[in-house]
Amino acid sequence: MLRSSLLSILTLWSTLSFALPQESRVPGGIALIDLPASTSAPKVEYQGTRVMVIPTEEENGWVAVVGIPLSAKPEEQQKLSINGKPLSFGISDKAYPEQRLKIKERKYVEPDPKQVARWRKESAEQKAAYKAWSEPETTVTTLAIPAEGPYSSAFGLKRFYNDQPRSPHSGLDIAAPDGSVIIAAAPGVVTAKGDYFFNGNTIIVDHGYGLSTMYCHMSEISVELGQKLETGDQIGLVGKTGRVTGPHLHWGVSLNNTRVDPLLFVQQN
């Protein structure tokens, strides 16, 4: 049943793979910025990081697909650099709800110095993967949902662990039984793989042009570092490794090294 359901998702995805992601000009969202006409793709940067640029149907038309960080302040204009020239755009505020979780293992709430050192090393490895810039022949603008199950924790939630505030939830949690299949959300290359302190068994996949996806808490990883993937390839199994309250997949999406709501890349119809 699970495999047939995922195949149905992939069939729908293949018919929509060239659609643009949904625009949502809020912290944690995506801005689609029309660019001046040009015979070649303009170089766009946001906060010092390259931004995905794709052609439009109009002659010499281009649009920048910009990930907006959760930390962005709505009262401030967001500034792009387009071939070295400035362009600003505004965003709206969004109030994300709170989520309070009880974590049984104290180390995941109050890690000791050795565990903090491990986390910092692993965090640097993951950040390096997020900063990767590649230019594959096909630009990915649509993602398939990587596992079947209800969404148990939405993106952007203000999180509290044992009543202690922590960083907002930077991905989408999909609840599924231990051992459920996880698939690649789009073609790409595995750029990070490890058993990380907070994230458990994790991989990051680079899809090109500043877009990458993260898959966490797996019970088993089925791919190797540097492996090329196609949409629908099995990459692992759902588990409960790392800081969790039960088995699920934490699915993260990063655009121009900014974590954004994964569902903006999923065609809801």
Q: 245 or 17: which carries more pLDDT confidence?
A: 245
pLDDT tens, residue by residue, 87-139: 999 999 998 977 777 777 777 777 889 998 998 999 999 999 999 999 999 99
Mean pLDDT of 42-68: 95
CATH node for 2-89: 2.60.40.1590
Q: Structural domain boundaries of the chain? A: 2-89, 98-265
Q: What is the pLDDT of residue 97?
A: 79
148 touches 176 (CB < 8 A): yes
**Short-list 171, 235, 227, CA closest to 201:** 235
pLDDT tens, residue by residue, 184-230: 999 999 999 999 998 999 999 999 999 999 999 999 999 999 999 99
Q: What is the pLDDT of residue 17?
A: 45
Mean pLDDT of 65-75: 96
**Short-list 178, 256, 258, CA closest to 217:** 178
Q: What is the pLDDT of residue 14?
A: 44
Mean pLDDT over all residues of the chain?
A: 90
* pTM > 0.85: yes or no: yes
* Torsion-angle region of 84 (φ positive above 0: left; ψ -120 to 50: alpha; else: beta): left
CATH node for 98-265: 2.70.70.10
Region of poorest pLDDT, from 48-52, 167-171, 185-189: 167-171
32 touches 38 (CB < 8 A): no
